[in-house]
Amino acid sequence: MAKKKHRLRNLHKIKIYHNRWLIWAIAYVVIFATAMIGYLKVSDINFETQQIADTQFQPWHSYKNTYLGFSQRYPADWWLEVQDQSSIVFVPSGSDQGVTVRVVKPSAETAIRKTLKISNESRTLLDNNPAAKLTNDLGDSHFETVILSIHNHRLYVLRGSQSLVQKLLLTFNFE
């Protein structure tokens, strides 16, 4: 038993490698090189992100409609067109097409679906609320995205091009 204690106390004195400093130097170089490569990769990503932000940043406006029960952020160069009490269109500047947001009774979903030529249907979320994402075939290789979501006994219908709907989908909030 005494021999084992003696061995454990002197364990740090055992020389495994005569060139221990070389192994530590290589380990430090590998760690340093890995850290530098990681830093450079992150710096490149931040630089690219900054360039994108500088060229594509636009201030956004907020729209809130308590009667219809939603709020929406949209780019500052877009304008709004109120079609009636239940329908608003968000239109980008220089375009005649936009994203229409309509609020109707949930029973209207069947009628809306009948008017569409649905080529694809999937599930998505609208402000963390389950929604159906439909692709409507308009003909001549033109498609429209339609989002249907029921919230507080109302059917919310968003219609427009895929890119425009996707842009506004991220900032849509139920009130």
Q: Are 24 and 39 in contact (CB under 8 A)?
A: no
- 73 lies in the same domain as 153: yes
Q: How many domains does the chain have?
A: 2
How far is C-alpha 60 from the geometric centre of its chain's CA atoms?
17
Cβ neighbors of 77 (< 8 A, separation 6 or more) are 58, 92, 93
* pTM greater than 0.75: no
Q: Which domain holds residue 140?
A: 60-174
- 125 lies in the same domain as 160: yes
- 164 lies in the same domain as 79: yes
State pLDDT tens for residues 123-135: 999 998 999 999 9
- 25 lies in the same domain as 10: yes
- 39 lies in the same domain as 70: no
State pLDDT tens for residues 34-47: 988 887 777 666 65
Q: Are 99 and 72 in contact (CB under 8 A)?
A: no
pLDDT of residue 64: 93
- 88 lies in the same domain as 149: yes
- 146 lies in the same domain as 79: yes
- 46 lies in the same domain as 100: no
- 99 lies in the same domain as 149: yes
Please give the backbone phi and psi of residue 57, each rounded to the nearest 5 degrees, phi first. -70, 130
Distance CA 44, CA 4 (A): 55
pLDDT of residue 31: 93
**Residue 23, amino acid:** I
Inter-CA distances, 126 with 52, 150, 160, Å: 27, 10, 15
Kindly give the confidence (pLDDT) of every residue in the chain, 175 residues in length, as a single tens digit, with 9 standing for 90 and above: 455 555 566 656 655 666 777 778 888 899 999 988 887 777 666 655 555 555 555 688 899 999 999 999 998 889 999 888 899 999 998 887 899 999 999 999 999 999 999 999 999 999 989 999 999 999 898 899 999 999 999 999 999 999 899 888 888 999 8
Tell me the CATH number at 130.
Answer: 3.40.1000.10
Distance CA 99, CA 75 (A): 12
Of the CA atoms within 13 Å of residue 87, those in its CB half-sphere come to 9
Cα 99-104-107 angle, rounded to 5 deg: 130
- 50 lies in the same domain as 125: no
- 43 lies in the same domain as 118: no
- 42 lies in the same domain as 64: no
Domain C-terminal end among 26, 56, 86: 56
Closest C-alpha to 144, from 102, 97, 111: 97
